[in-house]
Amino acid sequence: MMEVDSWISGLPKGGGAIPWAAMLLVTVLAASPVGKKIYSIAAKAADRLARNTSAAVLTVAVFALAITAAISIRVNFPEPVVHDEFCYVLTGETFAKGRLTNPKHPLWEFFETIYVIEDPTYQSKYPPAQGVALAVGIALVNEAIVGVWLSAAVACGAMTWMLLAWVPRRWAVAGGFLTALHPVMLQWNETFWGGAVALTGGALVLGAMRRLWDGPKIRDGVILGIGVLILANSRPFEGLVLCVPVAVTLLVWMVKRWREGEGAVMIKRLVIPCVLVLSCGAAWMGYYNWRVTGHALLMPYVLHDRIYGGTPLFVWQEALPKKMYNNPQLARHYGVWEASHWENQQTFGGWGKEVARKVFRLGRGFFQPLVLLIPLVMLPSVLRRDRWLQLAAGMLLFFVIAMWGITRNILLHYAAPAAPLAIVLLVACIAAMVERGGSRRVAAQVVAGLFLLSVWPTYSYINELQTVGPQFTRAKIVNTIVNEFPAEKHLFVVRYLPNYNENVEWVYNGADIDGQRIVWARDLGPQKLPRLLEYYKDRRKWLIEVGPVEVTPQPLGWKLTK
């Protein structure tokens, strides 16, 4: 899981006294007259930028794109690490080829893997929005990570646009840059399972809601619909949890407007634009479902869980029927690991322990570095004087409570739809500290300085993730063999040894299995394996033995001559 694990967003390991000296230096500098001068210059720049909404949004977006791309290039372009990332890349490659899904492979059992549907078509189980973002990068420069860069830029621009409706304009710009530099955002931007896409949806929905209340415009009705669609196609459940209080708020607004005799305006500027956008989006979603699963109302996620799922989505649901799997790796993942999540929460104590873990994980994730906790001293004051911030806090609390019922672990990108609510509260608290002046303003300067310093350990963490671990080994094996045999295609047969690392899956392929340079397949035993070897008789073949620590590639039999 991408998550910096330290009280200062992961001080570089083995750094000795240097990180501590850096923290002390930044603290002293930020609290000094020099820090005050730097803050004053930044504030004036933010004021100038905030005068033009388009310029503010575009500037933050370009900044986010630049820093995200710089980190990716510096770590030599990230590779997929976990199951979900490979699945999203598969969807991105499929879309980039101009298809919504891929035909079922005649030897699909050898390629069967975690979170991928093989029958009736070959596609990831996940909603398509993240795949669309990756497809843009693949289509432009044949690099999925470039799609992540662009989605990050759009997300930070959308956050700035949203904040312009919630907080003073200077602080909206500051919040946009804060979003772009937040350790969690930087981590999301170097992975393929996203966070930025759902963040964009949440920001558009919340920004449109706030603007519609003050003065309804057709544009905002359209943006609201687009935001809802992004959420429905990225994080459907979490997006629904966010949209419920938004819908209630807009319903109150509609009743108020109706009583004031503005029903026609409300229908024209909100209902019609939003319904048109949602109708078109729903039609496309139905068509996508039909192409992948064969049924317009059957989502790939639901079909996948019918075939493979080892645990229900919510803790109060009944246990899923036991399933038969075609290989022990799937049985271990779905039938043991996934099932344990539900089983562990069937007592009040077990459920309470998991709730505490979820709350801690979300809190630790957002407050990276922990210095971001300091502005919360202003939260009571901020909430007393602003009803919209009261609403934001209530919506955020509702979202967190709703997460308690999910069976699986909560990863940070699950909360991306509600992250704009946390950002707006944080920005409002920092603004209040500065407005109070005195020691609180100095504290705000120190918070800003240490926050900027957190980019360093965040980069170190991202770099480490790309240079160690099983998936780094996977990429190294690929590069080594391709460089040694540049003119040939290869078949990698993966054989799992006892006590292998169950959190790492090796068998993942792209959208065009037979056309790709390297095909990854599962060893299904001596009776079935000859069929696979015969099918790929013109490829050089390798056996990849995956143990608990070491992974060993060795020749399985050379390419047959005709």
Do residues 247 and 238 lie in contact, with contact meaning Cβ atoms separated by under 8 Å? no
pTM, rounded to two decimals: 0.93
pLDDT in tens, 155-205: 999 999 999 999 999 999 999 999 999 999 999 999 999 899 999 999 999
pLDDT in tens, 66-124: 999 999 999 888 888 888 999 999 999 999 999 999 999 999 999 999 999 999 999 99
Do residues 412 and 373 lie in contact, with contact meaning Cβ atoms separated by under 8 Å? no
SS3 assignment, position 102: strand
Lowest mean pLDDT: which of 140-154, 196-210, 502-516? Answer: 502-516
Q: What is the largest CA-CA distance in the chain?
A: 84
pLDDT in tens, 178-189: 999 999 999 999
Q: Where in the chain are the domains?
A: 18-76+125-309+352-462, 470-557
Residue 298: CB atoms within 10 A of its CB come to 15
Do residues 520 and 496 lie in contact, with contact meaning Cβ atoms separated by under 8 Å? no
| Mean per-residue pLDDT, 228-247 | 97
pLDDT reading at 380 higher than 90: yes
pLDDT reading at 287 higher than 90: yes
> What is residue 554's predicted lDDT score, i.e. its pLDDT?
74
> What is residue 551's predicted lDDT score, i.e. its pLDDT?
67
Do residues 412 and 191 lie in contact, with contact meaning Cβ atoms separated by under 8 Å? no
| Mean per-residue pLDDT, 117-145 | 97
> What is residue 5's predicted lDDT score, i.e. its pLDDT?
42
Give 3 or 385, the one with higher predicted confidence.
385
> What is residue 559's predicted lDDT score, i.e. its pLDDT?
40
| Mean per-residue pLDDT, 356-368 | 88
Percent of the chain with pLDDT over 90: 72
Q: Which two tokens stand for residue 136?
A: 């843009």
Main-chain dihedrals φ then ψ at residue 494, nearest 5 degrees: -95, 125
Angle of helix 218-232 relative to helix 236-259, nearest 10 degrees, comes to 160
Do residues 245 and 394 lie in contact, with contact meaning Cβ atoms separated by under 8 Å? yes
Main-chain dihedrals φ then ψ at residue 556, nearest 5 degrees: -105, -15
Do residues 387 and 456 lie in contact, with contact meaning Cβ atoms separated by under 8 Å? no
> What is residue 15's predicted lDDT score, i.e. its pLDDT?
63
> What is residue 552's predicted lDDT score, i.e. its pLDDT?
66
Q: Find the DSSP H helices in 15-113.
A: 18-31, 33-50, 53-74, 83-96, 108-111
> What is residue 6's predicted lDDT score, i.e. its pLDDT?
40
> What is residue 69's predicted lDDT score, i.e. its pLDDT?
96
Count CA atoms closer than 13 A to 76's CA, side-chain side: 8
Lowest mean pLDDT: which of 45-54, 82-91, 236-245, 451-460? Answer: 451-460
| Mean per-residue pLDDT, 284-302 | 97
Q: Which two tokens stand for residue 519?
A: 């095909």
Supply the mean pLDDT for the chain.
91
> Locate tokens 């909603």: which residue?
127
Q: In what order do the strands lie in the sheet with 518-522?
A: 518-522, 490-496, 540-546, 551-557
> What is residue 3's predicted lDDT score, i.e. its pLDDT?
46
Distance CA 79, CA 191 (A): 8
Give 142 or 8, the one with higher predicted confidence.
142
Q: Which two tokens stand for residue 514?
A: 């037979």
pLDDT reading at 239 higher than 90: yes
For residue 241, what pLDDT band results from cuts at 50, 70 and 90?
very high
| Mean per-residue pLDDT, 47-58 | 95
pLDDT in tens, 476-501: 888 888 889 989 999 999 999 888 88
Nearest CA-CA partner of 179 in 453, 419, 430: 419
> What is residue 550's predicted lDDT score, i.e. its pLDDT?
64
CB-count exposure of residue 434 (10 Å: 0-12, 13-18, 19+): buried
